[in-house]
């Protein structure tokens, strides 16, 4: 028997917000019967606030509880706030999940993501967003795209293929995708390390220097070896901002992170 | 725990009170080693041999053909690996896709070690194709290992025919009978099986004891080397009290076949029929004609097995499921998959397995709460709601 927390059991035996919303503004649907679990959430959105939410799910105890928890967490939140919620928050809300059940929380995260994207993409109405921006399907047994695997690794600091399986199910079937997962894990960990180094350098060396002159800088995103930054404060208006970025910031990052690094304005 | 309704007897059973009674003196005052020369140990030895006789009687075999082990898994390992070691020139093994992991994983391991393993298919009732078995037999087949009855579905294989086919080629036949022994009569004086595995805790003896029947003259190497216990076939000081308990359990089983076929089967049928008649979209998995009297495996379409188990558990009802979520793996039961049961049904399968210690009131209690549990879970399920709505698309696998 699984070790389930009291809170999880409560959400399983008394799930909140069960049902559907016929005129929902956004719907997020993930999973399938074949995979063993599926979740559909319906959102009602007014002025950027999630005013109502309902769900239907097919799954085990922790899947039902995760879905129930998610709906409670996002009700009354703005879209912005809801977007910040990840699977970790869902698991925490429930007082933790057994490791092999983490994929239930990831399913909630995924469904929310799909719902919000459908809302943004189409303005309103019920649309199913395909997983196209999630990249190729890596695990065919469970239909898990590369994007989701990477997201789960980064968000949960996953360190092994086994953990990837616990969180996303990828690799839990025939096992033919295990080599791919190993590659993705290595690659993602490398990227994470790179990003961490960039962050560290900016925090400890670059920002203090800029702030001395009333300026500041923010990381927009890191893609491969390209670092997108935005200058802020005094720097933002400084006519020599591009120069600052290239000559000072980039030079510094190159020196402490990698020779091939490139800084761009984001 | 109070008020447990235990419908999971294929997983394990309660120790029969008479069994415990029989064991206790051998955990207390009679602690002698049966191998000792003194009469204190000799007394234990005598009791041990009586137990062996009782076990042999249950199968209509001879006591010298019974070797005590620690469990069904050990018996299976002993049988398969012991035969292979004794027949090193033969490199082919035949088994089925629906075996218990204690056989399946041994065979998978051996296939990595250079053995050629044939995994026989089963049809949607869970039955093997006897022609496929016949055609798979080869001159270098060392052993055929086929279970008597399936632990998940209760499906019984046609053992007489299987034995006839295998023995007509003079090949060694091992039968994992862990689920069958004690539930249905087995007569080894008529059934030419060479090796048969069994486990105590499935028939109201304690956990940690089992046996392997080895037909006289079967070429097999000992699995556990050590002292001369079990006539050199299985070293290690005997688990005396448990073996004595196992003997008693076999004696009790001998006298309970009638009860199995009437009372136990009656309880099973009552629950099964209720489900099929009163809860829509339910299906029994496996060959209903050839099945253990105590087992039913039912699928409740559109919902997932673990959630059903958790709800049942709230009422103290113990059952098990072939769903992925309960096993810790992500794939549903290999047995149901081999039978071609669609994912929709295998994820929602529940096994109820009874024993002669179950009571009719317990079945009635289950009947009382089950429809509501299924209703509640279905009301949450998107697939059920789609099914009820018009836009239902059948989910194909
Ligand atoms: S493809 Fe990933 S487990 Fe089969």
Nearest-CA residue for ligand 1 atom 2 is: A139
Query: Given the CA of residue A174, which atom of ligand 1 is nearest to it?
Result: 4
**Pairwise CA distance, residues A239 & A229, whole Å:** 16
Q: CA nearest A138: which of A168, A170, A106, A161?
A: A170
Stretch B277-288: mean pLDDT: 96
CB of A138 within 6 A of ligand 1: the answer is no
**Which residues of B are catalytically annotated?**
325
Count Cα neighbours of A15 within 13 Å in the Cβ-side half-sphere. 30
pLDDT of residue B217: 95
| Range(s) of chain A covered by CATH 3.30.300.130 | 195-265
Report the residue of chain B nearest A14, measured CA to CA: B376
Report the residue of chain A nearest B331, measured CA to CA: A173
The mean-pLDDT minimum among A208-212, B89-93, B217-221, B256-260 falls in: A208-212
Q: Which domains does chain B have, with CATH numbers?
A: 5-12+256-385 (3.90.1150.10), 17-254 (3.40.640.10)
**Pairwise CA distance, residues A203 & B284, whole Å:** 63
pLDDT in tens, B156-198: 999 999 999 999 999 999 999 999 999 999 999 999 999 999 9
CA–chain centroid gap for A152, Å, is: 7
pLDDT in tens, B109-121: 999 999 999 999 9
CATH number for the region A195-265 comes to 3.30.300.130
Considering chain B, what percentage of its residues have pLDDT values greater than 70?
Answer: 95
Tokens of A133: 């921006």
| Range(s) of chain A covered by CATH 3.90.1010.10 | 6-176
pLDDT of residue B392: 43
**Pairwise CA distance, residues B249 & B30, whole Å:** 20
pLDDT of residue B65: 97
Q: Which fold has domain A6-176?
A: Sufe protein. Chain: A (3.90.1010)
pLDDT of residue A124: 42
Average pLDDT over chain B reads 94
Q: From the CA atom positions of chain A, what is the Rg in Å?
A: 21
- DSSP 8-class letter at B88: T
pTM attached to this predicted model: 0.85
pLDDT of residue B394: 42
Q: Which residues in chain B are closer than 8 Å to A37, comparing Cβ atoms? A: 304, 325
Ligand 1 pocket test, pick from A149, A177, A181 with the greatest ligand atom count within 8 Å of Cβ, gives A177
Whether B50 and B247 have beta carbons less than 8 Å apart is answered as yes
pLDDT in tens, B56-80: 999 999 999 999 999 999 999 999 9
Of B306, B328, B343, the CB nearest to A61: B306
Span from the CA of A106 to the centroid of ligand 1 (angstroms): 18
Low-confidence stretches of chain A (pLDDT < 70) are 1, 122-133
pLDDT of residue A233: 77
pLDDT of residue B249: 98
pLDDT of residue A163: 92
Which residue has tokens 């070429």?
B219
pLDDT of residue B57: 98
Closest Cα in chain A, distance from residue B7 (Å): 16
By the CB < 8 Å criterion, does B319 face chain A? Answer: no
Check whether B393 has a pLDDT greater than 50: no
Whether B282 and B275 have beta carbons less than 8 Å apart is answered as yes
Span from the CA of A144 to the centroid of ligand 1 (angstroms): 9
Of B302, B326, B395, the CB nearest to A32: B395
Span from the CA of A174 to the centroid of ligand 1 (angstroms): 5
pLDDT of residue B329: 66
């Amino acid at each position: 028997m699984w070790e389930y927390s009291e809170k999880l059991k409560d959400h399983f035996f008394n799930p909140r917000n069960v049902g559907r919303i016929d005129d929902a503004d956004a719907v997020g649907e993930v999973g399938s019967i074949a995979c063993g679990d599926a979740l559909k959430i319906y959102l009602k959105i007014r002025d950027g606030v999630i005013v109502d939410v309902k769900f239907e799910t097919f799954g085990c105890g922790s899947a039902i509880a995760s879905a129930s928890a998610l709906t409670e967490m996002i009700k009354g939140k703005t879209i912005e706030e809801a977007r910040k919620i990840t699977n970790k928050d869902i698991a925490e809300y429930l007082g933790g999940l057994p490791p092999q059940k983490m994929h239930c929380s990831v399913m909630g995260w995924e469904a929310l993501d799909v719902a919000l994207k459908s809302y943004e993409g189409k303005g309103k109405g019920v649309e199913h967003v395909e997983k196209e921006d999630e990249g190729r399907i890596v695990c065919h047994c469970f239909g898990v795209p590369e994007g989701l695997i990477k997201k789960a690794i980064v968000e949960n600091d996953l360190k092994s293929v086994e953990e990837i399986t616990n969180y996303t199910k990828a690799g839990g079937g025939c096992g033919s995708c295990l080599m791919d997962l190993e590659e993705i894990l290595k690659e993602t960990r490398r990227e994470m390390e790179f990003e961490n180094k960039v962050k560290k350098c900016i925090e400890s060396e670059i920002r203090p220097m800029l702030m001395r002159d009333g300026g500041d800088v923010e990381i927009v995103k890191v893609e491969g070896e390209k670092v997108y930054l935005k200058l802020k404060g005094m720097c933002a208006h400084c006519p020599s901002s591009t120069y600052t970025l290239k000559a000072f910031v980039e030079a510094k990052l190159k020196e402490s992170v990698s020779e091939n690094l490139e800084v761009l304005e984001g | 725990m109070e008020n447990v309704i235990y419908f999971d007897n294929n997983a394990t059973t309660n120790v029969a009170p008479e069994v415990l009674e029989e064991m206790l003196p051998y955990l207390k005052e009679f602690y002698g080693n049966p191998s000792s020369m003194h009469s204190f140990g000799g007394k234990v030895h005598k009791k041990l041999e009586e137990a062996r006789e009782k076990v042999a009687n249950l199968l209509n075999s001879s006591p010298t053909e019974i070797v005590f082990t620690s469990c069904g898994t050990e018996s299976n390992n002993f049988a398969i690996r012991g035969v292979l070691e004794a027949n090193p020139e033969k490199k082919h093994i035949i088994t089925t896709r629906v075996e218990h992991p204690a056989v399946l994983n041994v065979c998978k391991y051996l296939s990595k070690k250079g053995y050629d393993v044939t995994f026989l298919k089963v049809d949607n009732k869970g039955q093997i194709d006897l022609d496929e078995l016949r055609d798979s037999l080869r001159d270098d087949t060392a052993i055929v290992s086929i279970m008597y009855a399936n632990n998940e579905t209760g499906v019984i294989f046609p053992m007489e025919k299987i034995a006839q086919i295998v023995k007509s080629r003079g090949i060694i036949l091992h039968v994992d009978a862990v689920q069958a022994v004690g539930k249905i009569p087995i007569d080894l004086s008529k059934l030419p099986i060479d090796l048969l595995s069994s486990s105590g805790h499935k028939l109201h003896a304690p956990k940690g004891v089992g046996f392997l029947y080895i037909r006289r003259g079967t070429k097999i190497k000992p699995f556990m080397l050590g002292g001369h216990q079990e006539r050199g076939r299985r070293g290690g000081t005997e688990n005396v009290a448990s073996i004595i308990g196992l003997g008693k359990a076999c004696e009790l089983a001998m006298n309970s076949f009638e009860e199995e076929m009437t009372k136990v089967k009656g309880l099973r049928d009552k629950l099964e029929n209720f489900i099929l008649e009163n809860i829509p979209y339910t299906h029994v998995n496996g060959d209903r004609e050839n099945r253990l009297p105590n087992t039913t495996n039912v699928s409740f379409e559109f919902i997932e097995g673990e959630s059903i188990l958790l709800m049942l558990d709230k009422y103290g009802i113990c059952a098990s499921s072939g769903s992925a979520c309960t096993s810790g793996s992500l794939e549903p039961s290999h047995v149901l998959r081999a039978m071609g049961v669609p994912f929709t049904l295998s994820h929602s399968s529940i096994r109820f397995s009874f024993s002669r210690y179950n009571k009719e009131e317990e079945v009635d209690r289950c009947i009382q709460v089950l429809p509501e549990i299924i209703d509640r879970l279905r009301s949450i399920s998107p697939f059920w709601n789609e099914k009820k709505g018009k836009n239902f698309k059948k989910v194909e696998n």
